[in-house]
């Protein structure tokens, strides 16, 4: 009797991997097919750091785009508010933002960085739209639409409290001698 139980144990030790192999045959193609459809778009952001403090003294213009509940404000960190674009029934004036940033880009063609400052309750869709408007503009050239670079190096931060701001500067920032005059 003891000899019979040893033979049965030897036969029972074999694993049946057929079901497992069938599962792998189905799972592997499924995972390979679905992996193609899961793509992520990554937008590189530059967060302010120690290097930003050293650059501030060298640069003349520090563009800040401040997104508020009722408007988008374009400001220079050194001089203050440049332009305020109130939002309308359709939402924020992103076309106006792009037009004003194009004026700044014409005066400062080598400038590539800007800071987008957001209030805490700003919707993610608005953040992406504003960043797209700051980063590039669509222009038509020879019948084709092209992307022209505005300020691709975007830093993101928290908007300052909505304190009363001085009136906007009358025109885009310039180094003209007559632009510095005014009440002191």
The sign one gets for the Cα dihedral 173, 174, 178, 183 is positive
130 within 8 A of 91, measured Cβ to Cβ: no
pTM summary value = 0.58
The pLDDT tens digits of the residues spanning 36-69 come to 665 666 666 666 665 555 555 555 788 899 999 8
DSSP letter assigned to residue 32: H
State both tokens at 99.
């037009």
Class in CATH terms, 60-161? alpha beta
The pLDDT tens digits of the residues spanning 68-115 come to 988 899 998 888 888 899 988 888 888 899 999 999 988 988 888 899
């Amino acid at each position: 009797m003891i000899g019979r139980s040893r033979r049965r144990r030897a036969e029972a030790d074999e694993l049946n991997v057929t079901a497992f192999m069938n599962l792998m045959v189905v799972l592997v193609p499924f995972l390979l097919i679905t992996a193609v459809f899961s793509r992520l778009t990554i937008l590189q952001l530059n967060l302010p750091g120690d290097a930003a403090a050293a650059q501030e003294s060298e640069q003349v213009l520090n563009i800040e785009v401040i997104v508020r509940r009722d408007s988008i404000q374009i400001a220079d960190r050194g001089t203050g508010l440049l332009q305020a674009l109130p939002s309308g029934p359709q939402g924020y004036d992103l076309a106006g933002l792009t037009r004003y940033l194009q004026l700044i880009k014409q005066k400062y063609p080598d400038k590539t960085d800007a800071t987008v400052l957001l209030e805490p309750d700003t919707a993610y869709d608005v953040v992406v739209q504003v960043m797209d408007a700051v980063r590039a503009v669509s222009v038509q050239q020879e019948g084709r639409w092209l992307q022209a670079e505005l300020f691709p190096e975007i830093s993101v931060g928290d908007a300052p409290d909505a304190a009363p701001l001085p009136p906007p500067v009358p025109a885009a920032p310039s180094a003209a001698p007559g632009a510095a005059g005014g009440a002191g």
